[in-house]
Chain A
Amino acid sequence: MEMIRFDNVSFTYPLADRPALSEVSFSVSESEFLVVCGKSGCGKTTLLRQMKKNLIPYGELTGEVLYCGEPVESLDDRRSASEIGFVQQNPDNQIVTDKVWHELAFGLESLGLDNATIRRRVAEMASYFDIQSWFRKDVSELSGGQKQLLNLASVMVMQPRLLVLDEPTSQLDPIAASEFLQTVRRINRDLGVTVILSEHRLEEAFTMADRVVVMDHGGVLSCDAPRSIGAKLAQLQHPMFYGLPAVTKIYHTVMTDREEHPETAETYAGEAGPLTVREGRLWLKEEAATAELDVQTAGQILREVREEKTETRPPAPRRADTDLAIRTKDLWFRYRKDAPDVLRDLNLQVERGTLYSLLGGNGVGKSTLLKVLQGILKPRRGSVQISGRAAMLPQNPQALFSEITVEDDLLEALHYAEKTDEEKVAAVESMLQLLQIEHLRQVHPYDLSGGEQQRLALGKVLLLEPEILLLDEPTKGLDPFFKITLAEILKDLAAQGITILMVSHDIEFCAAYADRCAMFFDGGIISEGEAESFFTGNNFYTTTANRIAREYFPGAITWEEVAACIRRIR
């Protein structure tokens, strides 16, 4: 049975010059798990919102969206509320009441159920989601991951048949995100609820999906099983290809390689691409066995690939003198006398003009370290030497926005600067150019997408002309394409001699772009080195591509390197 059917749907926002959705047609059958992916701003949210009656945005809609054969906009309110569940991005903003149990009951109260029924359903849900232990807590005491699970549970308690999730994990750290997605998968498997999920983190979502919809500029580019979705995009050489999981990218790049194997590339339809690291490893093993690869040739191939890479992208020029921008000595910090130490005997040295990234789990004190370096917190013991002006970009860009247009907001950053008005305007102008947001100058900061907001916040910080830039989770909630743009901006800044220290969960990003990486754990730095040697040395805490290839090519850390290596052995 068809759960949802989009029939030639086009949608235009008022005053927009081009449609947000154009001629979208697809259908989702009962109990299916559908993943929707695409650049931010490609119409994913607009598409998902068409499925929930009260969330349909204002604008011009043609075509039909049918839920179980009935147009969504003429569904009964009660039915729409209970049968179609919708979970949004931000964990905090969706919570309405002060207690966990009350939040769970909220939807059932709206439906007008009596106390005994609500009690029973809430109890069932709390047990299913394993939230008994925080059932009576205040919502403000929960972690981000718990909050989002609560949002999911308080939708599930209404027993929906269709669950729509709009980038639910974009504000979560990787571990909480993974837990959340596993729960969604369990709902789909155990209860047969139809799931439509939009995501940027596709590594995990791909393994759960029955089908994947790839969107671009408001249209559906491709809709296929996750194992074969890469083939078409690779053949088209479409930019969306770069947003796919590493395994998929490696496999399909190799399989559709026109230069060396034109015959397979043409006929290839990609039915059986690997989805997980395990499958990727097995596939590589097979390839290696057919090619009779030995350790020496593998090493040779990797060296060749490396050389080619350095030819195309020369490394940032290293200064001869080891000029340190940040240097800490035996740094100790804790928040209160009886609290545990957050920083223990931390020694950090960052050279001028490098992009240095500090990796580590949640709550290990990465952000605290940045605050100490910025001078917002005072170390309890030890010394911090910062040579140059430091500025820090906080995790939430909203904390910086105070004006009504992008332009004014950038100008506001210069409020205390000792410059003439002309100089200020010129500085703003060049910043708009640098960040490629000139076309957005008259837009309200809150109307920007996540990536654009990040850029604006970065711009505000950069206008202070820092010599040292401290970034707190700069890739949080960004789509893979904007990550590439961000990396380019950061590389440019580093080339200008600005030192960048970022803390992040994002292994793939750091592996691809950082000059040096360090692992932060238990208040100190455990290991440190150039990106390549750092990840080669790790066993578990490394990129997906490296985990696939490390048996043969231990030094290959990005998917491009791994794909290039495999192409050579075929």
Chain B
Amino acid sequence: MFREGIGERTEFAEYHPWVNLVYYALVIGITMFSMSPWFLAATFILSWFYSLLLKGRAALRLNLVFVFWIVVVMALINVLFVHDGDTVLCFIHGNRITAEALIYGISAAVMLSSVLIWFTSFNCVMTAEKLIFLFGRAAPVLGLTLSMIFRYIPLLRARYGEISMGQRCLGRGKVEDTKPPLKMRLRQAGKNASILISWSLESSIESADSMEARGYGLRGRTSFNLYRFSRRDTAMMVWLCVLGALCIAGCALHKTEAWFYPVYKLHPFDMMTAVTLIAFILMAATPLIMDIAGELRWERLENGEQ
């Protein structure tokens, strides 16, 4: 069931875009202020789970590549350029290589890759439609512009296909298995692009007419959307905000941090750290739990029908 990922139609994705946005703002924001291994582990593992849950196997390889390179590059750079720290591992060209610098590099790399992996699930949850809505709240023109861009990308792609097809009718470009030399292919690509531009400019006159004919440019334009902030959204928002507030309080009290230089030292694991950590895990895991529960419910429903 989870092999291919459960995609965009998930329980959590069906919440109001504001709820989705607040969730990601909190999770990613707190991740960026976390250097203590507890929090890094929590955010790293949860980001992986959520990304794999939504996108399935397809995300696995990409995430692994991301993580590997970020860890290698950042740990290496930090170790080679930062020589602070008391625990010397060895000397290279007379420079100290310290354990603290290595730990710092790895921690920062884990933090950064967690943020990136959170963004892969963000991509899935925050569809273009939701982004258009959120930007439209900020400025109606911005929302409309985004919407027009998302309209034009597939249109231009289809048009380009038609052009290159038309050019092949003239015997240009790739016909059957023959491949013309690079210079000719480049010339043809340039020609196709130039046709695409003049065609699109020409047709955009009609689009402009159509916009104006439907009153674009009148004063007081509003921005319509299909979202409704329901009671469910309010409840979710309160839940996220309460947990978020706890986490932010923990951040403010430096509970999510660690000290690296001169000696790697963790904050004592006190009551407040535990509360912050639990609040963070609960918050970050909320969509995961909801989506899995939702998926199981569907499974039950569908099996029940048979």
Contact = CB atoms under 8 A, between A and B. Distances in A.
Residue of B158, B165, B210, B214 contacting most chain A CB atoms (<10 Å): B214
Interface string A169-187: 0000000000000000000
Interface string B205-219: 011011111111111
- The contact size tier of chain A is 35 or more
A96 B148 contact: yes
A420 interface: no
Given A55-B213, A98-B128, A391-B169, A90 B144 contact: no
Nearest to A108: B224
Interface string A147-172: 00001001100100000000000000
B129 interface: yes
Given A54-B213, A107-B215, A99 B195 contact: no
Contacts of A95: 151, 207, 210
Contacts of A140: 151, 154-155, 158
B139 interface: no
Contact of B218 (A81, A92, A376): A81
A460 B147 CA distance: 37
A90 B209 contact: no
A399 interface: yes
Contacts of B87: none
Contact of A112 (B166, B211, B219): B219
Interface in A444-500: 446, 460-461, 464
Interface in B139-177: 140, 144, 147-148, 150-151, 154-155, 158, 162-163, 165-172, 175-176
A399 B167 contact: yes
Interface stretch (A61-69, A113-121, A262-270, A350-358): A113-121
B166 A110 contact: no
Contacts of B162: 394, 396, 399
Contact of B155 (A54, A77, A92, A371): A92
A461 B169 contact: yes
Contacts, number: 159
Contact of A115 (B168, B171, B222): B222
A77 B215 contact: yes
Contacts of B163: 399
Nearest to A371: B165
Contacts of A217: none
A97 interface: yes
A107 B169 contact: no
B71 to A, nearest CB: 38
B245 to A, nearest CB: 30
Contacts of B211: 96, 106
B215 A99 contact: no
Contacts of B171: 391, 416, 464
Given A98-B151, A108-B224, A446 B175 contact: no
B95 interface: no
B105 to A, nearest CB: 43
Interface string B170-199: 111001100000000000000100110011
Contacts of A155: 213-214
A86 interface: yes
B151 A109 contact: no
A140 B155 CA distance: 7
B222 A139 contact: no
A121 to B, nearest CB: 10
Contact of A94 (B144, B167, B210, B221): B210
B220 interface: yes
A477 to B, nearest CB: 14
Given A110-B214, A396-B166, A102 B224 contact: yes
Contacts of A85: 213
Give the interface SS of chain B, mostly helix, strand, loop or mixed: helix
Given A77-B218, A460-B170, A96 B207 contact: yes
A378 B172 CA distance: 17
B230 interface: no
A93 interface: yes
A400 B214 contact: no
A499 B204 CA distance: 38
B19 to A, nearest CB: 18
B215 A97 contact: no
A54 B207 CA distance: 13
Contact of A93 (B132, B210, B223): B210
Interface string A373-394: 0111010000000000001111
Contacts of A375: 175-176
Contact of A55 (B150, B175, B209, B218): B209
Contacts of A96: 148, 151, 207, 210-211
A239 to B, nearest CB: 30
B303 interface: no
B202 interface: yes
A90 B200 CA distance: 13
B210 A81 contact: no
Contact of A402 (B132, B150, B191): B191
B176 A378 contact: yes
Contacts of A398: 195, 199, 202
A31 interface: no
A331 B119 CA distance: 48
Interface in A99-142: 99, 101-102, 105-115, 118-119, 122, 136, 138-140
A243 to B, nearest CB: 25
Interface in A68-98: 77-78, 81-82, 85-86, 88, 90, 92-98
B214 A97 contact: no
Given A81-B215, A374-B169, A401 B209 contact: no
B202 A446 contact: yes
B158 A394 contact: no
A179 B214 CA distance: 24
A457 to B, nearest CB: 9
Given A55-B212, A78-B218, 6 more contacts: A93-B207, A96-B207, A96-B211, A98-B128, A101-B226, A136-B226
Interface of B: 128-129, 132, 140, 144, 147-148, 150-151, 154-155, 158, 162-163, 165-172, 175-176, 191, 194-195, 198-199, 202-204, 206-207, 209-226
The 9 closest A-B pairs by CB, nearest first: A399-B166, A81-B215, A110-B215, A112-B220, A140-B154, A107-B214, A93-B206, A98-B150, A105-B224
14 contacts: A77-B217, A78-B215, A85-B213, A92-B203, A98-B151, A101-B226, A107-B214, A109-B140, A110-B218, A118-B222, A140-B158, A376-B168, A399-B163, A400-B167
